[in-house]
Each structure stands twice: as C-alpha cells, then as structure tokens.
C-alpha cells in the first residue's frame, strides 16, 4: 500500500516528465520546422541564383551562335582568302567578341580559335592577368587538338575545369573550321551571389560531388533529391545544405547555412513562445499540486495523525476546519466517534474495576475460609491426643491470628504486619509438630514498611508446611526477603524454601504455566496458590513474577519478584 504523499510525489514526477518531454518535443518539432523553413528559403534563393546564372550563360551561348552563324566570317577565314581579308575577318571577330563581352554579366573571357592558323582571338576583363589568360587558352588548345584527333567533344554544356589551381566554367563550341567559347571564374560567381547573404556559403561541385571552390572546409558532397540534408566541414561544424543542378552546365550549386537556427529571428520568436508556454505549464502544474496539497493532502495528513494519536490513547485530537464539505463532515464524524468511544471506554473501565474488586474480595474469602479449615484440622488432631495445654496455647495463637484476619479487610498490608501474622501461624505449626519443625526468617529492615498483598506469605508458607512435614525427620522452612530491581524498577524478592519432598515434574509444569485456566489442581493448597497468582495478576498486572522449582539438595523453592507499590497504588 502507498500513502497519498507517495502517490502525489509519483504523480508530480510523472507530470513533470510529461511536461519536460512535451517541451523537448515541441522544441525538436519547432527546430525541424525552422530548419525546413530555412531550407525552403535557401532553396528559393538558390533557385533564383542558379536560374540567373543559367540565363546569363544561355545568353552568352546564344550571342556566340548568332554572331558566328549570322555572318560570313567563317567563309572569309578559309585558306583561299588573302591575308588582308583574313586580318579584317579576325578584326571583325574581335570587335564582335568585345560587343558580346560588354553584354555578359558573368563571363570573364571570350575566345575564338582558328586551328589552321593556331591563333586565338580573345576578349577578357581587366580582372584576369595575362598569365592566367594564357593558361586558359593553352588548356583550350590542348582540348581542341584532342577533338581534332578524333576524341569526342565532352559536352555541349558548360563544364568545370581546373586550370593552374583555379576552377572555371568553360564553354567550348565546335564551328567546324573554328572553335569559340568562354570561361567564367567560379570564385567570382560565388562572390557576386553572396554579397547580399553574408550568412551563407556558396559551393560549386561537379556531378560526381567534388568541391571546386571551398576545398579547405569541404572536399566532397553526395547529392540527392532530398529538400535538404546536413553536412559537416573538416572541423566538425554542422551545416544545412540545399543543392540544385544547373540546366546549362555539368555542375551543382549548393547553399550552406550553419546549423544554428537561433540566428533566425523567427526561431527566436517561436522558441520564446514555446519556452513561455512551457514555463507557464510548469508553474500552473506546481500551483495545482500546491493547491491539492493544501485542500486535500494536508487535511488527510492531519486526520491520519489524529487517528494515530487516538490509537495510542490520545482522546483529544486537534482537527482544523476544512474548506471542503466532505472533509469537514469527516472531521466532525471522527470527533463525534472519539467522544462516544471515550465515554464508552470510561463506562467499561469502571465496570472492570468493580468486577476486579468483587473478584478480589471473593478470592480473599476463599483464602480465609481455607485457612480456617486447616486450623480446625490442627485442633482436631490435638484433641485426639488430649494435649489440652497445647490446645489452650494454640487457641490463644489462633485467636490472635483470627483477630488479624477479621479486623483487617484491606487489600494491601505492611510487610511487618504480614510477617507477624506468619509467625503466629508458624508458632501454631511448632505446637503441632514439637521438636520436629523449625522456622527461619531473614528480612531486609528497609522493606518492613513496604506494602504487599495480604495473606500472600501465609498462603505459600502453608503450602510448604503441607508438603514438607515428615514425622520421621527434622523439618524446616526458611523465608528470605531482599530488595532487588524488577523490570528496571525497585522491588523485593521473596524466597520460601523447605526440606520436604519438593514438587513433582507435573506440578512444576502446571504451576509455572502462565495460563491459569489450564491449571489442574488436586489439593486445597494448590487452590490457594492459584488464587494468589490471580490476585497478583490483578494488582501488579504483568510486573510481578513467580517461579516454582526444586532445590538440587532437596525441597521446594518458591521465588516471588514484586515491584514496590507507590502510595497512590496502596490507596
């Protein structure tokens, strides 16, 4: 079984975990949505940029075709043309290339190549130096020679080429007797597209995924049809990648944004709202738990404590009024029940006291009548032997003895009075058994004024006399009373010994049995012992102890341990 406090703790932990998981889930979903939004924004920007590049390259292609196929330049460059006509044609081509170059936004250079003369007609921007242009043209001449030797043309689109450590988009057009083309430096394209987006990285890559313009941080991409994917640079920094394939060239263009959505104002706003909602939920949750504790848990705890106090005997529990009608009704019912139980317990207690008093009086009557019967038996025995002098002495002792028992109706008596009563009884026994009976007494003087139950000593002494007397030997009874501690309280130990035959094993088992209801008695003395044990139980409860045994040297031993009674107990 679990307490409500334990269940509330489990419920609170469970709800807190749910709230935490909800916040985490909302944060993850919001992050995913933000990544998707960023990817969609970057893809739209990338689509516009790639389309602009494609349109610019297509215009360059179209202008080259229009220039060369719409005039008779090719025919004028034949071997049959004289030198002057060929020079004029080359001049015309150069002017046309300059005109086309002035209309191109991205192109860094245009060229025209006549294999028969091994001459290039070139138009370039001021960005390229002569050495760079020379390297590009040499690369083009090598490609053209390979084509003329039978190697097929690579593609009719713009291709990525590495020349002298730099990457270019190269266009080569086969005109039959001549070749023309253009080149664009990829670094320049990236710079022009990123001027308005400083938070982006623009990366060009070949169809097989090789990076051409940012090889220090990235070396290879795996392109897919997914809207976006994540890549990491050489330092382990994670980027969100959006890629798009060019329609006019054999290459991919990618936008990369560092995976830090918090840089987005929209994400900041969403995250703020999510955090505010999470904090509000947690506050409301703990506020609800606090309210539940005040109106449900605390009243239940007070009611539980009151029940625990009542169980331990406290009949005055303090229960505060509750705001809930059900708890108020429960408190009032509990208080009413306690009052009724208290009254009922007092009535029962008073009845028990009366029953115990009646029972003690009855037991005392039993003890007195039993002793009277024994005394009459002694006188009868003396009368049989006609010892009238002893009968007279015995009668005087009996008178004193009967006067003590008749005049004293109290439950408890001082020890010294009980001892005097025992001495009268033992004198009667000495008269009965002259020269065959001796009585020894050792009592601590500090205990003489302590109270003990009346006739307890006389009952056990009488039992010893009954079982110890043997006419064929000397008989003795020894009474010893010393102070001891009983159950960590001051008390006295009463020891009665004789040199008789002792108890049988069956008698010891029955007499030492705490359950007096199962005690089978076969003599009047044992009836007196049972009555004494019952009286001790009524007076001392479980604090008194009594034990019957046999002395190893012979004879019976009876030991009693009685706690000292206080004055209020005596009364």
First to last CA, the chain: 49
Q: What is the pLDDT of residue 515?
A: 65
Average pLDDT taken over every residue of the chain: 77
State residue 209's pLDDT score: 83
- Please tell me whether residue 309 adopts helix, strand or coil conformation: helix
Whether residue 27 is predicted with pLDDT greater than 50 in this model: the reply is yes
- State yes or no: pLDDT of 315 exceeds 80: no
Quick one: pLDDT at residue 414? 92
Note the pLDDT tens digit of each residue in 219-265.
Answer: 778 777 777 888 888 777 888 888 888 888 888 888 888 766 444 45
Give residue 276's pLDDT.
72
User: What's the mean pLDDT in 542-557?
Assistant: 90
- For residues 321 and 334, give the distance between their C-alpha atoms in angstroms, rounded to a whole number: 12
Domain range 349-570, its CATH number among 1.10.3210.10, 3.30.565.10, 3.40.50.150, 3.40.50.300: 3.30.565.10
Contacts 24+ apart (CB under 8 A), 113-117: 113/140, 113/141, 113/144, 113/178, 113/179, 113/180, 113/181, 114/77, 114/90, 114/177, 114/178, 115/144, 115/148, 115/177, 115/178, 115/179, 116/79, 116/177, 117/86
Q: Strand pairing of 475-486 and 437-443?
A: parallel
Domain ranges of the chain: 4-263, 311-345, 349-570
419: nearest Cα among 370, 451, 458: 458
* Contact in structure between 444 and 481 (CB atoms under 8 Å): yes
Q: What is the pTM of this model?
A: 0.46
Distance of CA 439 to CAs 379, 470, 475, 510, Å?
20, 15, 9, 28
Mean pLDDT of 469-493: 87
The DSSP code sequence of 33-82 is HHHHHHHHHHHHHHHHHHHHHHHHHHHHHHHHHHHHHSSSHHHHTSTTS-
- Sorted by sequence, the CB contacts under 8 Å of residue 318 that are 6+ apart come out as 306
* CA distances from residue 540 to 364, 477, 561 in whole angstroms, order as listed: 16, 27, 11
Radius of gyration in angstroms for the set of CA atoms belonging to the chain, rounded to a whole number: 62
d(CA 181, CA 139): 12
């Amino acid at each position: 079984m679990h307490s409500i406090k334990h269940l509330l703790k489990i419920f609170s932990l469970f709800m807190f975990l749910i709230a935490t998981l909800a916040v985490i889930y909302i944060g993850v979903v919001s992050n995913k949505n933000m990544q998707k939004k960023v990817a969609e924004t970057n893809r739209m920007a990338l689509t516009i940029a790639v389309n602009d590049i494609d349109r610019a390259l297509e215009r360059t292609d179209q202008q080259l075709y229009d220039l060369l196929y719409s005039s008779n330049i090719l025919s004028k460059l034949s071997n049959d043309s004289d030198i002057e006509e060929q020079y004029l044609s080359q001049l015309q081509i150069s002017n046309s290339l300059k005109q086309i170059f002035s209309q191109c936004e991205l192109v860094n250079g245009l060229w025209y190549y006549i294999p028969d003369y091994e001459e290039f007609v070139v138009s370039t921007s001021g960005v390229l130096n002569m050495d760079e242009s020379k390297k590009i043209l040499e690369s083009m001449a090598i490609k053209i020679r390979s084509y003329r030797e039978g190697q097929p043309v690579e593609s009719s689109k713009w291709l990525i080429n590495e020349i002298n450590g730099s990457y270019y988009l190269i266009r080569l057009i086969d005109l039959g007797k001549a070749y023309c083309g253009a080149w664009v430096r990829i670094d320049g394209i990236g710079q022009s597209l990123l001027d308005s987006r400083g938070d982006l990285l623009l990366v060009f890559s070949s169809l097989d995924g090789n990076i051409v313009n940012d090889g220090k941080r990235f070396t290879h991409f795996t392109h897919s049809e997914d809207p976006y994917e994540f890549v990491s640079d050489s330092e382990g920094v994670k980027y969100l990648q959006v890629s798009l394939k060019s329609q006019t060239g054999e290459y991919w263009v990618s936008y990369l944004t560092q995976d830090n959505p918090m840089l987005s104002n929209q994400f900041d706003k969403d995250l703020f709202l999510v955090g505010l909602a999470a904090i509000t939920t947690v506050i409301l949750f703990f506020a609800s738990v606090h309210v539940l504790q005040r109106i449900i848990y605390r009243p239940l705890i007070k009611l539980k404590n009151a029940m625990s106090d009542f169980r331990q005997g406290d009949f005055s529990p303090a229960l505060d009024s509750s705001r809930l009608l059900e708890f108020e009704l429960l408190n009032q019912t509990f208080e009413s029940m306690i009052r009724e139980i208290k009254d009922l317990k007092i009535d029962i207690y008073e009845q028990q006291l009366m029953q115990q008093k009646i029972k003690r009086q009855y037991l005392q009557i039993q003890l007195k009548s039993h002793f009277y019967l024994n005394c009459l038996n002694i006188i009868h025995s003396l009368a049989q032997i006609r010892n009238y002098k002893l009968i007279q002495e015995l009668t005087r002792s009996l008178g004193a003895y009967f006067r003590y028992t008749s005049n004293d109706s109290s439950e408890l008596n001082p020890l010294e009075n009980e001892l005097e009563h025992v001495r009268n009884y033992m004198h009667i026994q000495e008269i009965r058994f002259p020269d065959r009976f001796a009585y020894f007494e050792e009592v601590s003087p500090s205990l003489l004024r302590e109270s003990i139950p009346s006739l307890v000593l006389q009952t056990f002494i009488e039992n010893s006399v009954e079982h110890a007397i043997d006419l064929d030997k000397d008989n003795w009874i020894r009474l010893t009373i010393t102070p001891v501690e009983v159950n960590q309280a001051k008390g006295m130990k009463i020891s009665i010994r004789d040199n008789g035959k002792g108890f049988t094993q069956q008698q010891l088992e029955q007499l030492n049995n705490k359950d007096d209801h199962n005690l089978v008695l076969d003599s009047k003395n044992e009836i007196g012992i049972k009555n004494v044990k019952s009286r001790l139980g009524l007076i001392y409860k479980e604090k008194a102890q009594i034990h019957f045994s046999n002395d190893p040297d012979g004879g019976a031993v009876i030991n009693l341990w009685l706690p000292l009674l206080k004055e209020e107990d005596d009364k």
